[in-house]
């Protein structure tokens, strides 16, 4: 008999794939019903009826939508995302570079933000309702409430201009050393950390506090364990599922939702790339970006689900 | 020049004194800021350019959809980048005079129909190929081609035939055009090997720099090349490398300059220009150009088909207030014609239209308009401050009893759905080097971009006559009549001409304003140096 965990995980994976497929339909349908004819958008004011007809033919816009959808999907499955209509570049190549940058920024923001948020959450529980708890909550809630571009500008002004450390422009490229790259992204990483901190911290705090009501925590306390040990050894492992969920949501945000930060710091990530192509109606690029964003979102949520399943002892050790 | 000033300006060029201090001292000696700046530029030149160093420019106007094919260029980053690797036949100088680039010299026939451009001998493309008249002709062919999508199509459309004659490229126009060489300075018309037919985006041309790295919407990096015809690094193209960094966000741009990550930026927001100029390490430099912000009416669509109504609206706009509040003084007032003193052959005797509510009310009454709201469409992207400008216009119009109603449109799609489509909207024009080109682009009956639907055979006739006229006083008289006609009958409400506002680090020497475009018409990388 198959272990129930394997079954559950397989189910999740299959569901994820199905969801991604559904997302691809939505993306395709969404970009197809965008106002404005693609050929007209590309040719602009100098369009003549013949050149429009030629371009429509070339782009296969005369085929029925279903045919176009399967042609596109077929290409995507073979790793062929097509070429950008606006500058004729290979989408997979341009996108790979941008995706790498986005992941680089998200990775470093996560490396700092996630442990910090969890640590702060644990501390908040340890000193519940005393000044460290109030300070942590107050500061993190304040930073999540301020729009991220504002935090960005404030940090640029104080850190880059007044103090003269770190760079206000976060442009990274392959010829830079890792140190130079980290120096470039230092301020955006700070901004992103401040933006995602509160959500994860509050969730950690709430989840652990919930567990702290349990009888076994009282037992642990009565055994004479130190408060932090109780939290670390007994409360935290049982609060992992909700924490992982909120961490994954924030990681997904770091990948797909940071266009504002990218603009403020001129960071060459996916968000800016997508926005530029949306305004030029460069549909193949928009579709490719949409698909990657969907895949990241679904993938991270899948990880969260699987971790919650694995973290649940009742599922790990069935009777 | 006064001895003390001379001494002071030398100190500035040696970096011992800031430009602002100098202008202050000069003012104390009774010299205006404009003259002081000119003196400074002279002093910097006298001290001599310094070869070497890296120049970084933060530029607004780049997208990840950009390419290096000159035919596709329309925003600032590709245009600025193109100046590095490519050169057209000629260039327009800050004084409005033409000088040769790829063309060594040029001459026109007496009817201005046939133009001969002599290609500079022995100059090479960056791929080592020698430039021939054939390459020039192929370049023009690519832009005039039937299925050309080139932005220069409108410019080269008038060419009837082309041929080469040894090292001479000759073109013949259907209608004579005394300004033809000016058109050849267009940034789309970069001379490419074999016209760029096989690889239009190869970025190979006769420019002083070659493309090292190109990330659309992010940056472009150029390196000085060795065999540039214009001379070595001590003569021109002084920097070892020049980089364009795309900084579309205004705050990011100013921050990058303040923190020293870039040496120059374009499009300083008028709102902050005066504040930014206080920073000790940089100076804000503005130059009045030919660009203008407009409200345009389709004169073939009711109610704008009534000239009385158009005049009512023209009198109801407070131009000075617009310049003061929208441009913060960085600009000049307009006179409902797209031409100002920055153009050659401008007639300054045409009376300035004043803000006059009584006249506006009178014309409005005469128009017999039924009092239904007149809808003015605007968007943030129409021009910087367009929404505020529309609100100011609405208020002054209201005072004259004209029911103006503002409809705010999204930026996305504004240029395809609203501009040149809706009868009354806010817009801008970048200006052109000569009057003929400006009128031909937007006020000729047959122009694609006739965004006021101004279709007057007598105007077209005057334009064609002026175009072929080689006698400047006669041309000036014709242009004056045309300007007055547009001013009194056209669908154009032109409240202001906007300055180009750049900011430049004090390390950069040799910067001089150029009315043809921001950042010395994008030649800053070539004409400036670091002391």
Distance from C-alpha of A65 to C-alpha of A7, rounded to nearest angstrom: 37
Using 50, 70 and 90 to split pLDDT, how confident is the model at B43? low
Nearest to B130 by CA among B34, B52, B227: B227
Distance from C-alpha of A102 to C-alpha of A151, rounded to nearest angstrom: 19
Q: ipTM of the assembly?
A: 0.79
Nearest to A290 by CA among A298, B66, A55: A298
**pLDDT tens for each residue of A52-65:** 777 777 777 778 88
Averaged pLDDT, A249-263: 89
Distance from C-alpha of B39 to C-alpha of B97, rounded to nearest angstrom: 21
Domain membership of residue B74 (yes or no) is no
Mutation target among B252, B254, B381 for the A interface, most CBs of A within 10 A? B252
Distance from C-alpha of B522 to C-alpha of B81, rounded to nearest angstrom: 8
Domain membership of residue B489 (yes or no) is yes
Averaged pLDDT, B19-35: 67
The angle at the Cα of A103, spanning A97 to A105, to the nearest 5 degrees, equals: 105
Between A3 and A199, the higher pLDDT residue: A199
Distance from C-alpha of B301 to C-alpha of A305, rounded to nearest angstrom: 61
Distance from C-alpha of A172 to C-alpha of B219, rounded to nearest angstrom: 10
Q: Which of A26-35, A201-210, A310-319, B511-520 has the lowest mean pLDDT?
A: A310-319
Domain membership of residue B278 (yes or no) is yes
B331 and B250 inside one domain: no
Count helices and strands (H / E) in chain A. 15, 0
Domain membership of residue B202 (yes or no) is no
Residue with tokens 């950008």: A84
Nearest to A109 by CA among A190, A200, A202, A167: A190
Q: Are B285 and B320 in contact (CB under 8 A)?
A: no
Phi, psi angle pair for B405, to nearest 5°: -125, 135
Domain boundary among B134, B169, B196: B196
Chain A contact residues (CB < 8 Å to B): 35-36, 40-41, 43-46, 51, 54, 84, 86-89, 94, 97-98, 153, 156-157, 160-161, 164, 167-169, 171, 173, 175, 263-266, 268, 272-273, 276-280, 282
pLDDT recorded at residue A66:
86
CB pair distance less than 8 Å for A46 and B216: no
Judged against a pLDDT cut of 90, whether residue B458 lies above it is answered with yes
Using 50, 70 and 90 to split pLDDT, how confident is the model at B524? very high
Judged against a pLDDT cut of 60, whether residue A46 lies above it is answered with no
CB pair distance less than 8 Å for A168 and B259: yes
Q: Which of B17-21, B100-104, B238-242, B394-398 has the lowest mean pLDDT?
A: B17-21
Scanning every residue of chain B, which has its alpha carbon at the shortest distance from the alpha carbon of A278? B412
Domain that holds residue B273: 54-63+207-284+501-530
From residue B76, alpha-carbon distances to A124, A180, B70, B415 in Å are 51, 28, 12, 17
Among A84, A171, A264, whose Cβ lies nearest the Cβ of B249? A264
Asked if B249 reaches chain A (Cβ–Cβ under 8 Å), the answer is yes
B102 and B217 inside one domain: no
**Who's near A49: CB < 8 A, 6+ residues apart?**
none
Reading the block at residue B228, the tokens are 């540039």
Nearest to B460 by CA among B472, B473, B475, B447: B447
Q: Are B509 and B528 in contact (CB under 8 A)?
A: yes
Q: Which of A30-34, A249-253, B354-358, B476-480 has the lowest mean pLDDT?
A: A30-34
Judged against a pLDDT cut of 50, whether residue B284 lies above it is answered with yes
pLDDT recorded at residue A80:
85
Give chain B's mean pLDDT. 90
Q: Which of B1-10, B247-256, B301-310 has the lowest mean pLDDT?
A: B1-10
Domain membership of residue B201 (yes or no) is no
Distance from C-alpha of B392 to C-alpha of B319, rounded to nearest angstrom: 10
Domain boundary among B196, B229, B246: B196
Q: Are strands B241-246 and B404-408 parallel, antiparallel or unpaired?
A: unpaired
Between A79 and A34, the higher pLDDT residue: A79
Q: Are strands B241-246 and B90-92 parallel, antiparallel or unpaired?
A: unpaired
Q: Could you tell me the CATH number of the domain that includes residue B274? A: 3.40.190.10
Structural domains for chain A: 103-281 (1.10.3720.10)
Nearest to B464 by CA among B188, B164, B235, B174: B174
From residue A42, alpha-carbon distances to A290, B63, B529 in Å are 20, 15, 39
Distance from C-alpha of B407 to C-alpha of B374, rounded to nearest angstrom: 10
B473 and B517 inside one domain: no
Asked if B413 reaches chain A (Cβ–Cβ under 8 Å), the answer is yes
B375 and B278 inside one domain: no
Nearest to B311 by CA among B137, B490, B189: B490
Residue with tokens 């005469």: B366
Reading the block at residue A108, the tokens are 């470093």
pLDDT recorded at residue A204:
92
pLDDT recorded at residue A44:
59
Between B491 and A90, the higher pLDDT residue: B491
From residue B94, alpha-carbon distances to B9, B109, B166, B171, B519 in Å are 22, 26, 32, 26, 11
B441 and B514 inside one domain: no
Tell me the CA end-to-end span of chain A in Å, nearest whole number: 13
B317 and B278 inside one domain: no
Domain membership of residue B242 (yes or no) is yes
Phi, psi angle pair for B55, to nearest 5°: -115, 130
Q: State what percent of residues in chain A have pLDDT above 70.
A: 94
The angle at the Cα of B420, spanning B415 to B423, to the nearest 5 degrees, equals: 120
Averaged pLDDT, B72-81: 91
Distance from C-alpha of B78 to C-alpha of B64, rounded to nearest angstrom: 11
Q: Which of A177-181, B37-41, B176-180 has the lowest mean pLDDT?
A: B37-41
Distance from C-alpha of B198 to C-alpha of B209, rounded to nearest angstrom: 21
Q: Are B224 and B526 in contact (CB under 8 A)?
A: no
Judged against a pLDDT cut of 80, whether residue B26 lies above it is answered with no
B162 and B13 inside one domain: no
Q: Are B332 and B505 in contact (CB under 8 A)?
A: no
From residue A56, alpha-carbon distances to A36, B244, B509 in Å are 13, 35, 51
Indicate the SS3 state at residue A209: helix
pLDDT recorded at residue A146:
92
Among A36, A266, A276, whose Cβ lies nearest the Cβ of B249? A266
B489 and B506 inside one domain: no
Averaged pLDDT, B5-32: 66
Judged against a pLDDT cut of 80, whether residue A301 lies above it is answered with yes
Nearest to B245 by CA among B234, B257, B236, B237: B257
pLDDT recorded at residue B1:
47
The angle at the Cα of B223, spanning B219 to B225, to the nearest 5 degrees, equals: 150
Domain membership of residue B111 (yes or no) is yes
Work out how many domains chain B is built from and give that number.
4
B95 and B238 inside one domain: no
Q: Which of A2-11, A228-237, B142-151, B376-385 has the lowest mean pLDDT?
A: B142-151
**pLDDT tens for each residue of A259-284:** 889 988 989 999 888 988 887 778 88
From residue B289, alpha-carbon distances to B18, B96, B499 in Å are 26, 12, 6
Domain boundary among B149, B166, B196: B196
Nearest to B505 by CA among B309, B265, B296: B265
HEC per residue, B134-202:
HHHHHHHHHHHCCCCCCCCHHHHCCEEEEEEECCEEEEEECCCCCCHHHHCCCCCCCCCHHHHCCCCCC
The model scores a pTM over 0.95 = no
DSSP assignment letter at A45: G
Neighbour tally for B129: CB within 10 Å: 12
CB pair distance less than 8 Å for A88 and B67: yes
Mutation target among B71, B81, B157, B217 for the A interface, most CBs of A within 10 A? B217
Distance from C-alpha of B186 to C-alpha of B140, rounded to nearest angstrom: 12
Among B149, B245, B249, whose Cβ lies nearest the Cβ of A43? B149
Q: Could you tell me the CATH number of the domain that includes residue B485? A: 3.10.105.10
Asked if B527 reaches chain A (Cβ–Cβ under 8 Å), the answer is no
Reading the block at residue B370, the tokens are 């039924």
**Who's near B483: CB < 8 A, 6+ residues apart?**
B337, B339, B347, B350
B487 and B522 inside one domain: no
Domain membership of residue B72 (yes or no) is no
Dihedral of CA B360/B362/B367/B370: which sign? positive
B505 and B494 inside one domain: no
**pLDDT tens for each residue of B490-506:** 999 999 999 999 999 99
CB pair distance less than 8 Å for A171 and B219: yes
Judged against a pLDDT cut of 70, whether residue B37 lies above it is answered with no
B264 and B384 inside one domain: no
Indicate the SS3 state at residue B354: coil
Helices marked H in B224-344 — which ranges? Answer: 250-258, 270-276, 307-315, 319-325
Using 50, 70 and 90 to split pLDDT, how confident is the model at B13? low
Averaged pLDDT, A101-128: 93
Q: Which of A201-210, A253-262, A308-317 has the lowest mean pLDDT?
A: A308-317
Distance from C-alpha of B473 to C-alpha of B435, rounded to nearest angstrom: 14
Nearest to B331 by CA among B94, B524, B495: B495
Judged against a pLDDT cut of 50, whether residue B487 lies above it is answered with yes
């Amino acid at each position: 008999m198959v272990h129930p965990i394997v079954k559950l995980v397989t189910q999740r994976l299959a569901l994820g794939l199905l969801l991604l497929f559904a997302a691809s339909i939505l993306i395709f349908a969404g970009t197809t019903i965008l106002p404005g004819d693609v050929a007209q958008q590309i040719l602009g004011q100098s369009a003549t009826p013949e050149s429009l007809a030629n371009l429509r033919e070339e782009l296969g816009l005369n085929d029925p939508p279903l045919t176009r959808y399967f042609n596109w999907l077929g290409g995507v499955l073979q790793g062929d995302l097509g070429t950008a209509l606006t500058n004729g570049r290979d989408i997979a190549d341009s996108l790979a570079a941008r995706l790498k940058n986005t992941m680089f920024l998200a990775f470093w923001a996560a490396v700092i933000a996630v442990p910090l948020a969890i640590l702060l959450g644990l501390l908040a529980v340890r000193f519940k309702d005393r000044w460290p708890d109030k300070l942590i909550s107050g500061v993190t809630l304040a930073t999540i409430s301020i729009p991220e571009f504002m935090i960005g500008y404030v940090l640029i002004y104080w850190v880059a201009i007044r103090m003269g450390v770190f760079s206000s422009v976060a442009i990274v490229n392959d010829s830079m050393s890792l140190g130079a790259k980290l120096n470039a992204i230092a301020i955006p990483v700070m901004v992103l950390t401040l933006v995602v901190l509160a959500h994860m911290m509050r969730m950690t705090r709430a989840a652990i506090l919930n567990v702290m009501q349990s009888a076994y925590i009282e037992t642990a306390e009565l055994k004479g364990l130190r408060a932090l040990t109780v939290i670390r050894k007994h409360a935290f492992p049982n609060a992992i599922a909700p924490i992982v969920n909120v961490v994954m949501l924030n990681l997904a945000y770091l990948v797909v939702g940071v266009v504002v930060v990218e603009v403020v710091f001129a960071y060459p990530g996916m968000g800016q790339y997508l926005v530029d192509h949306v305004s030029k109606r460069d549909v193949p690029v928009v579709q490719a970006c949409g698909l990657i964003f969907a895949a990241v979102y679904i993938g991270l949520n899948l990880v969260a689900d699987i971790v919650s399943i694995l973290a649940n002892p009742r599922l790990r050790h069935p009777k | 020049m006064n001895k003390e000033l001379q001494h002071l300006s030398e100190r500035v060029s040696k970096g011992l004194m800031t430009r602002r201090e100098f202008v202050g001292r000069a003012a104390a000696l009774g010299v205006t800021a404009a003259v002081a700046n000119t003196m400074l530029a002279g002093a910097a030149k006298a001290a001599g350019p310094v070869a070497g160093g890296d120049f970084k420019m933060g530029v607004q106007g780049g997208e990840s959809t950009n390419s290096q094919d000159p035919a596709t260029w329309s925003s600032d980053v590709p245009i600025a980048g193109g100046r590095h690797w490519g050169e057209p036949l000629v260039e327009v100088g800050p004084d409005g005079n033409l000088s040769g680039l790829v063309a060594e010299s040029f001459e026109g026939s007496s009817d201005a129909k046939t133009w001969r451009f002599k290609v500079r001998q022995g100059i090479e493309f960056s791929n080592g190929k020698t430039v021939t008249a054939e390459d020039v002709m192929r370049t023009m062919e690519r832009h005039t081609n039937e299925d050309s999508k080139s932005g220069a199509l409108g410019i080269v459309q008038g060419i009837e035939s082309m041929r080469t004659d040894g090292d001479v490229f000759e073109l013949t126009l259907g209608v004579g055009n005394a300004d033809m060489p000016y058109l050849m300075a267009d940034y789309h018309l970069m001379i490419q090997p074999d016209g760029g037919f096989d690889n239009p985006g190869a970025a190979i041309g006769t420019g002083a720099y070659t493309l090292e790295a190109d990330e659309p919407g992010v940056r472009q990096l150029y390196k000085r090349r060795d065999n540039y015809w214009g001379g070595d690094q001590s003569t021109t193209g002084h920097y070892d490398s020049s980089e364009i960094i795309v900084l579309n966000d205004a705050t990011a741009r100013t921050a990058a300059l303040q923190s020293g990550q870039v040496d120059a930026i374009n499009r300083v927001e008028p709102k902050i220009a005066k504040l930014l100029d206080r920073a000790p390490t940089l100076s804000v430099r503005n130059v009045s150009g030919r660009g203008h912000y407009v409200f345009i009416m389709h004169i073939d669509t009711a109610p704008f088909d009534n000239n009385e109504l158009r005049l009512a609206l023209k009198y109801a706009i407070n131009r000075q207030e617009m310049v003061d509040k929208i441009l913060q003084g960085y600009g000049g007032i307009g006179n409902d014609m797209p031409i100002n003193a920055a153009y050659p052959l401008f007639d300054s005797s045409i009376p300035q239209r004043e803000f006059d509510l009584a006249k506006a009310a009178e014309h409005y009454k005469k128009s017999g308009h039924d009092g239904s709201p007149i809808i003015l469409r605007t968007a943030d992207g129409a021009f910087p401050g367009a929404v505020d400008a529309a609100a100011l216009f609405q208020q002054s119009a209201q005072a004259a009893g004209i029911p103006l109603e503002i409809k705010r449109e999204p930026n996305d799609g504004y240029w395809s759905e609203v501009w040149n489509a809706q009868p009354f909207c806010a817009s801008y024009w970048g200006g052109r080097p000569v009057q003929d080109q400006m009128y031909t682009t937007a006020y000729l009956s047959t122009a694609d971009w006739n965004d006021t639907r101004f279709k007057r055979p007598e105007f077209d006739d005057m334009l064609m006559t002026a175009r072929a006229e080689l006698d400047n006083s006669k041309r000036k008289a014709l242009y004056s009549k045309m300007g007055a006609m547009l001013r009194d009958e056209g669908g154009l409400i032109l409240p202001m001409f906007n300055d180009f506002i750049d900011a430049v680090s004090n390390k950069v020497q040799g910067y001089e304003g150029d009315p043809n475009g921001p950042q010395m018409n994008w030649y800053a990388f070539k004409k400036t140096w670091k002391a």
